[in-house]
Structure 1
Amino acid sequence: MSKDFKDAALRAITIERDAIDALAGRIGDEFVRACEVMMACRGRVVVTGMGKSGHIGNKVAATLASTGTPSFFVHPGEASHGDLGMITGQDVVLAISNSGNTAEVLTILPLIKRMGAPLISMTGNPDSILAREAVANLDVSVAIEACPLNLAPTSSTTATLVMGDALAVALLEARGFSAEDFAFSHPGGSLGRRLLLRVSDIMHTGDRIPRVSPDTTLSGALLEISLKGLGMTTVVDDNGRLAGIFTDGDLRRTLDRPLDIHATPIRDVMTRNGRTIHEDQLAAEALNIMEELKINALPVTNRDGELTGAINMHDLLRAGVI
């Protein structure tokens, strides 16, 4: 029985892989035309489809929207009962139907044409009504469904989904859509935080910055480290510029030396010219520096080299950068 399960699964994967491979030969003038029409769209790309095509259409619309092509899905049945008002002449309609003759989709075609909204179709039948009415038809036909009855939409929905992804990626590249643009569409995700959150957004500022003068004794510096809880203290001169840093690691190395912690000034044991980060840099860059140098905190400076903050690994963890 287990062999039967595996054989059926492998057969389905092979059939669907072949369906995807067949798409490569169909990326031609019709695909270019579809991209040009969508690039010229002054409104939204409105995706519609019935049944399984509708489920795929929902995902295609979501992918387009998150990659720089404003888009949403309209159910063709609901469109006939009021939702057609969501479509304007400034939009482009992307209609998905494997047969190309789905009644609910064909019903709204005359109204879409009357609005003047260009129609792009994805069908498995290039001779269908939907394909003939479209300014560009993307052929997503398959030789056979992965379903052994050749009935359940399987290979056909996979091919349609891949063609939708191909459209989204082609448009993304044509628009010069960047990682930062993507992050603005996903501010709640970890990727968005990594690409949008800056050091200045999460750093410790003002009195929360561990800070001592170069003349402060080692014992005084240790009190500042304990008080501020960042595992380090900055050493700042009279002009507000960073003179050095003293960390937990520096403390361990200092304890190996015969020093009087109540008399030794911090300038004698601090790390000079230590690594800093600019307040406008991404928080993710702070993480990269800490991981590379195996440190847990960084002083933050502004364009004039003045100390403006401090950030440590716990801040990055709380902010969701890690």
Structure 2
Amino acid sequence: MSLRSIDASLTEDSAILDSIGRSLATTVDGVNALATSFANDAVFARNLADAVTLIADRNGRVVVSGVGKSGHIGRKIAATMASTGTSAYFVHPTEASHGDLGMITSDDLLILLSWSGETVELGNMLAYAQRFKVPVISLTSNRDSLLARHSTVPIVIPKVNEACPHGLAPTTSALLQLAVGDALAIALLERRGFSAEDFKTFHPGGKLGAQLLLVGELAHRSDAMPLLPLGAQMGQALIEMSSKGFGVVGVVGKDGKLAGVITDGDLRRHMSDGLLQQTVEAIMSVKPRVISPQLLASAAMQVMQSSKVTVLFLVDETETPVGILHIHDLLRAGVA
């Protein structure tokens, strides 16, 4: 490659990086404008809160619609709501005008997205909503638009510069619509007290489903747990540790509570000619780290990684061991 080719390549790379930098900066400016509007515009903040209340108090479903990029964002908003406890689905306005309006009942609610607020294809949905008294929440940048004026709750997003240098391709504007939609979905989630266990119901498959498993579902129980009572000899501990294959033994008191654990590391630290004649309480580590059976598998993985351990005992509210979990159990389940 000649020097001239190298110079040309560097110039081209610089132009690309400059373009990416401008787009990211424009995006950040747009998000900042949205946050500023929320903090300083009482009407904007009030309408967001009213939208959450309106959705939460409806008995029907949330029907989301939009055209073009607004439609793509609308699909994502509907999907996020549906997966976080708010019954929602997307209807394309053209399909709505050809029969799908029949899917919308008077118990439902519409969320309509249009940056200009003048999208012609949404006209029939607005007319239908007015006829059957279906509430409308709009996401637009034009408070004087047809859409905003005919909405029960108009959410007027601040006008921002698009990352597109021609100001034509919806970029920053689409991101702000998405941000508002996500904010509504999360506010609804928190208002309903939607828990991680509820989340698991809607996400049973894949990596996310694995992370939402409870450790109690993955743990080894009953006779699989390596346990010995206080007073047992270390010779018994070695046999129990080897036979159960976890590299650890739990020691329980007469009350059934977990009094301590003996690990491979404990054995190495106390290695001597008289090790086998000692009792387990002389070797065990007291106050071992334990977890609840109700802990999420993803959280258990974090505990193991931060504590640099590979095995954890599960104990109930009385501190009685009810299971044992190895990091391999988490990895086999797809938690990583």
- Secondary structure at the aligned position of 1:308 is classed as strand
In the alignment, which residue of structure 2 is the partner of 1:8?
19
Residue-by-residue CA offset, 1:113-154 (whole Å, 9 max, x unaligned): 233210111223333222222112222363543322332222
**1:244-255 map, 5 Å:** 244-255=260-271
Is contact 2:93-2:122 (8 Å) kept?
yes
In the alignment, which residue of structure 1 is the partner of 2:273?
258
In the alignment, which residue of structure 2 is the partner of 1:282?
295
In the alignment, which residue of structure 1 is the partner of 2:3?
none
Q: CA deviation at 1:237?
A: 6.2
Query: How far apart in 2 are the matches of 1:239 and 1:11?
Result: 66
CA distance change for structure 1 residues 85 and 318 in 2, over 3 Å: closer, same or farther?
same
In the alignment, which residue of structure 2 is the partner of 1:315?
329
Is contact 2:69-2:170 (8 Å) kept?
yes
Query: Is 1:83 matched with 2:100?
Result: yes
Is contact 2:237-2:280 (8 Å) kept?
no
Residue-by-residue CA offset, 1:242-269 (whole Å, 9 max, x unaligned): 56533212221232x22163xx154364
Is contact 1:49-1:95 (8 Å) kept?
yes
Q: CA deviation at 1:170?
A: 4.0
Query: How far apart in 1 are the matches of 2:319 and 2:28?
Result: 57
Is contact 1:142-1:155 (8 Å) kept?
no
Task: Between 159-168 and 207-216, report the one with greater CA deviation.
Answer: 207-216
Q: CA deviation at 1:41?
A: 1.8
**1:56-67 map, 5 Å:** 56-67=73-84
Query: How far apart in 2 are the matches of 1:63 and 1:259?
Result: 62
Query: How far apart in 2 are the matches of 1:145 and 1:2?
Result: 23
Q: CA deviation at 1:171?
A: 3.6
Query: How far apart in 2 are the matches of 1:218 and 1:279?
Result: 28
Amino acid at match of 2:154: N
Q: CA deviation at 1:48?
A: 0.2
In the alignment, which residue of structure 1 is the partner of 2:219?
203
Query: Is 1:50 matched with 2:67?
Result: yes
**1:123-162 map, 5 Å:** 123-140=140-157, 142=159, 144-162=161-179
Query: How far apart in 1 are the matches of 2:291 and 2:141?
Result: 55
Query: How far apart in 2 are the matches of 1:81 and 1:223?
Result: 74
Amino acid at match of 2:310: N
Name the % identity. 43
Task: Between 220-229 and 267-276, report the one with greater CA deviation.
Answer: 267-276
Is contact 2:267-2:283 (8 Å) kept?
no
In the alignment, which residue of structure 1 is the partner of 2:5?
none
In the alignment, which residue of structure 2 is the partner of 1:230?
246
CA distance change for structure 1 residues 17 and 253 in 2, over 3 Å: closer, same or farther?
closer
Is contact 1:278-1:303 (8 Å) kept?
no
Amino acid at match of 2:330: L
Query: Is 1:70 matched with 2:87?
Result: yes
Query: How far apart in 2 are the matches of 1:169 and 1:215?
Result: 53
Query: Is 1:218 matched with 2:234?
Result: yes
TM-score, length-scaled by structure 1: 0.81
Q: CA deviation at 1:231?
A: 0.2
Q: CA deviation at 1:305?
A: 4.7
Query: How far apart in 1 are the matches of 2:269 and 2:124?
Result: 79
Query: How far apart in 1 are the matches of 2:194 and 2:267?
Result: 47
CA distance change for structure 1 residues 170 and 203 in 2, over 3 Å: closer, same or farther?
closer
Q: CA deviation at 1:321?
A: 4.6
Query: How far apart in 2 are the matches of 1:219 and 1:43?
Result: 66
Aligned residues: 318
TM-score, length-scaled by structure 2: 0.78
